Amino acid sequence: MADINNILQYIKQYGYIFLAIIVFLEYLNLPGLPAGIIMPAAGILVKYDGLNFIYTLIISVISGLLGSFVLYALGHYCGKPILKKIQNKFPKLKKAIDKTYKYMDKYGNSGILIARVIPVARTLISLVAGTFNVGFVNFTLYSVIGITIWNFAFIYAGYAFSYLFLK
């Protein structure tokens, strides 16, 4: 796994396109670079290298939403078999998947928003929402709010605490 200095170099070299691709892949719940590294790295570059905070946030939200749409579609069209395979292949995720189901069951559409700010559940919620056949407009609305909150917090953390990362 790459560290924050590698991510800084990649974002510097490839700019917003790298950020968009890596955030898209991260929201597909693919192993690799977690938001806890990507977003603070972007925040550091906002402070020191001329990235625009608003553009960075917008690109990260759009990319996260696009990745979420892919998982939502998978959940909508073939969710239960996929979730079973994920649980069988990665038994440690069973608890997170069950917790995500409980959020959806208990809170309905606002469960999407709540799950968006909880690690692991925030990317699994797309698959679960598709499986629950949550309306696409509601899914999009609650996802945009939750993704924006999550990405803003981490980008801002990188911006505000960049002195801790750069030594």
The alpha carbon dihedral of 65, 67, 70, 74 has a sign of negative
Reduced to 3 states (helix: H, G, I; strand: E, B; else coil), residue 119 is: coil
Which residues, 6 or more positions from 81, have their beta carbon under 8 angstroms from its beta carbon? none
Tens of pLDDT, residue by residue over 111-150, are 888 888 888 788 888 988 998 888 999 999 999 999 999 9
- pLDDT, position 1: 47
Q: Where are the domains of the chain?
A: 4-160
Is the pLDDT at 34 greater than 60? The verdict is yes
| SS3 (DSSP) at 3 | coil
Characterize 49-72 residue by residue with b for buried, 16 or more Cβ atoms within 10 angstroms of its Cβ, and e for exposed.
Answer: eebeeeebbebbbebbbebbbbbb
Q: CB of 97 within 8 A of CB of 86?
A: yes
pLDDT of residue 124: 83
Q: Determine the 3-state secondary structure of 130 from DSSP.
A: helix
Residue 140 pLDDT: 96
**Structure tokens that stand for 82 in this block:** 């996929």
pLDDT tens column, 51-91: 899 999 999 999 999 999 999 999 999 877 877 887 888 88
8-state DSSP, 70 = H
Three-class secondary structure assignment of 100-111: HHHHHHHHCCHH
Q: Summarize pLDDT for 147-157 with one digit per residue, the tens.
A: 999 999 999 99
Q: Residue 31, Cβ neighbours under 10 Å: how many?
A: 9
Q: How confident is the model at residue 92 (pLDDT cuts 50, 70, 90)?
A: confident
